Structure 1
């Protein structure tokens, strides 16, 4: 992952990080939306914003970012 991606991760909002943590847990957009009390469309919007802020171009990079951001919270 490039340094731009790593640097961009620090610009993420609390809700964007929460979406990433749900992604790490293997939750679908719908499950994430229910858990966060938002619509699946809003989950998609958060993920698009994350991609813009971090320079992530695909789902594999997004998952790597999610894993790095989630850190020790992966089990919970």
Structure 2
């Protein structure tokens, strides 16, 4: 059974969704880290956790997921 983007969205924290939003915009790990005032290692950790929760195995699938989720949760930046 595979998860839909909506199912995955329910599993993610606000910060994880924020990271995916930046990834969907085409930002690199370093750029995301600067924007979120994090270390690149922390961004990598967020993305590894997202991959684990979503059952995603590579960066291409992670990008597809990021695009799907940001489309589902368009006002993701407004979450508090």
Report the TM-score, using the length of structure 1 for normalisation.
0.84
Measured against aligned partners, the alpha-carbon deviations of 1:21-47 in whole angstroms (never above 9, x if no partner) come to 010111111110010011000000000
Are 1:39 and 2:42 counterparts? no
| SS of corresponding position for 2:3 | helix
The answer to whether the 8 Å contact 1:23/1:66 transfers is: yes
Q: How many Å separate the matches in 2 of 1:49 and 1:25?
A: 19
Alignment of 1:25-64 (within 5 A): 25-64=25-64
Unaligned runs of 5+ in 1: none
Q: Which moved more, 1:3-12 or 1:60-69?
A: 3-12
The answer to whether the 8 Å contact 1:23/1:63 transfers is: yes
Alpha-carbon deviation of 1:60? 1.2
**Root-mean-square deviation (CA), in Å?**
1.6
* Match of residue 10 from structure 1: 10
Q: How many Å separate the matches in 2 of 1:66 and 1:37?
A: 20
